[in-house]
Amino acid sequence: MAEGIPELVVDRTSPVPLYFQVAQHLEHLIESGAYPPGTRLDNEIQLADQLGLSRPTMRRAIEYLVDRGLLVRKRGVGTQVVRPKVRRPVELSSLYDDLAAAGKQPRTQILSFELQEPSEIVAEALGLDDGAQVYAIRRLRFTGDEPLSIMSNYVPAGLVRLDARGLERTGLYAMIRAAGVNLKIATQTIGGRAARAAEARLLAEHPGAPLLTMTRVAYDETGRAVEYGSHLYRASMYTFELTLTTT
């Protein structure tokens, strides 16, 4: 059944564009679950008439949400709500904490957990001497019942004491901080690539599906490297969000 847009009065005196006011209101309805996936909206003409707006303004609001992956247009069906992506601010926080704060029900499956000598790349990133060992952790992170991310993390063994059961219950950064290590800053690289067959099976995607990649080295307040992470995210469900300012 088609839906209108309830409880929205646009502020024509506000510097915020009218289309963006409408888009933000719709986004809140989608993110809150008031408009679950599959909800079909009235057509643009009906919505524009309902709000007393021009059709181009309404169309721009809809296009904004289509571009953000919250709505989809289907021929013969109209405009429908789709499953919203997880949007994560680019800051020094854990995926577990971000999902929990957003009410996304994080869940973790441990794929592997062992002490090992690090690869050359990991040893260099963490500034480790020959013979040092790291916790090598590979996890599958869910939001609700949906697999979202494959996370590989490496932490110097002498830094904290980690265990697989604890990592199933909470986030890695929470365990590091609980050990008295103050995470202060990180360097991070974001990219993308196609899913390999084994990754696609874990993430419920098809081989070749687009994945977002993130590599991070986190440091404490003394400048000591405390964690190296290499993560894969489903591009169909996940996006990084940045706030840009001028100086």
Task: Check which CATH number belongs to the domain holding 166 and give it.
Answer: 3.40.1410.10
Nearest to 216 by CA among 208, 227, 232, 224: 227
* pLDDT for position 165: 93
SS3 20: helix
**100 and 216 belong to one structural domain:** yes
**121 and 236 belong to one structural domain:** yes
What proportion of the chain, given as a percentage, has pLDDT over 70? 84
Residue numbers of the domain that contains 206: 86-241
Map 22-34 to HEC letters.
Answer: HHHHHHHHHHCCC
**56 and 97 belong to one structural domain:** no
Question: Where are any strands of DSSP class E within the chain?
Answer: 2-3, 40-41, 71-74, 78-81, 86-89, 106-116, 134-143, 146-156, 183-194, 210-220, 225-234, 238-241
Average pLDDT for residues 32-38, to the nearest whole number?
Answer: 81
**76 and 91 belong to one structural domain:** no
Nearest to 43 by CA among 82, 4, 84: 4
Cα gap 215→190, rounded to integer Å: 7
* pLDDT for position 16: 77
Record the tokens describing residue 29, joined without a space. 């309805």
* pLDDT for position 66: 83
Q: Is residue 83 predicted with pLDDT exceeding 90?
A: no
Residue 247 resides in a domain: no
Average pLDDT for residues 40-53, to the nearest whole number?
Answer: 82
Record the tokens describing residue 61, joined without a space. 């609001």
On whether the CB atoms of residues 242 and 90 are closer than 8 A, the answer is: yes
**100 and 62 belong to one structural domain:** no
Nearest to 187 by CA among 120, 130, 126, 240: 126
Residue 45 resides in a domain: yes
CATH number of the domain within which 38 lies: 1.10.10.10
On whether the CB atoms of residues 227 and 218 are closer than 8 A, the answer is: yes
Q: What is the pLDDT of residues 14-32, one digit of tens each?
A: 777 888 888 888 888 887 7
Average pLDDT for residues 229-247, to the nearest whole number?
Answer: 71
Q: What is the pLDDT of residues 148-206, one digit of tens each?
A: 999 999 999 989 999 999 999 988 998 998 999 988 888 888 899 999 999 999 999 99
* pLDDT for position 82: 79
Q: Which of 81, 97, 125 is the last residue of a domain?
A: 81
